[in-house]
Structure 1
């Protein structure tokens, strides 16, 4: 099926489709090469990367919930040096746009990572700010506008790559966060990251997850994600990558209508490794049925006051 209707441009990146994969749900892309045409994806947000290798959390890391899952992986990864020396050269031949998700415990760490990843083969970097700032009493970067802004400024000062800030939904006002990181220089925002959740084993009377709490993702979070994308789209001018519970083309269309310029598929990859291709095909069908020539014609069209044709 031709993807002519789905071709788009985001952050200077020419994409075959606006369908990406969310970090932490798709490995480094190569793991899905037997199921997905990686070059057809708008980009692959690879596994979260840190300065030093991390083993991740101890104990149970994943538990299934109704219409979703809780996880507390703990950013297990081989570290940025292994990524650059071994993994990036290995995945470059697949022809996918590699977006590297990075995490750190200080703004300086983000700056160092951004500088190290300012290399050919990396299309953009995504800042995961759902982690504590150890230099400021452990406050989560993603819940404080100034802390998140400091991360953006550190990254921007050290790379020419586009910088995407991944917004946490675990805040009182996500619009305030989005406006702050836009003002700090973020080239785009992605949202939402996981919601904070917990499950308790009623037979053992203790939390199921080894880390007690974890990130809730999957279809159950989609209404929250769509709402937050819509709110942020009203407040910022930078592009939005929408994510959170996308399992079908219908879900993706909701995010585009809410104001997203691209979408990222996450937890659904675990249950159907071909889901991104199915979503691309479904988006093509939807655009053809509506007589639309390009996916950009959908972006931000969910106006509550819209009185035009909606059938």
Structure 2
């Protein structure tokens, strides 16, 4: 027989509830009492964050002012160097390096190199050739797929002709024939869309292959001439800088009187390219390094080379300030 425990009296339950409520009230009171200390801690943390932000802002302003002062100092130094250089040119007997005084062989190399560059530029670029080859390949793949479906249709037709309708092979051949016909219709539509682009691409590729053969010698001679010209012009700049010669105004206006110690090779590369540009396009301006900018419709290679040199001048300036 199960033992039945008596239910607690209602007064006992109420007593426990009151005790629990009293404990909760005491805990709440303690938490409320701690709030001022917690607010003080939070305010202190916020004050630290504000101070850190003010410090960062002040340092940022100081860094900005330092950069502005440095830029202003560089401008003053540049102006001073230009003033000194101008007075040296007017008063000194130091001869100016004649970087533009190229001999006949160097001028010939420049023209042969330019002919090679222009011939190469007239050929299809790798990206264009790849796109054209993709068009031809897509058409060829569609042709192969069309042939496959046609052979499947012919094979199924032979089975249909040699078997009775009740023959399991006949039913399978019907299904195969229907699939082949569907494939033929699909590939036929694809071929209509791919045929014209593939034909045009094939003609362009064939013409480019003929051009490659026709200008192969010109490109090879141009590459050899360009390499030889680079060696000669680089040596010319190195001799002028190493000998302490007074460099032309058109040269120093964009490259300064000497290369930066940390990036001499890049400076020499740009200086050599500048001399090659002036030699190739007969630029003789005594002040403007690249002469007048190329106009629209002019030699695309010259325009690209001109803008490349302008970017390189800017890159060297930024590297010198960093």
The higher radius of gyration belongs to: 2
Of structures 1 and 2, the one with the larger relative CO (CA 8 A, separation 6+) is 2
Instruction: Kindly indicate which of the two structures has a greater share of residues assigned to helix.
Output: 2
The structure where strand makes up a greater share of residues is 1
* TM-score normalised by length of structure 1: 0.22
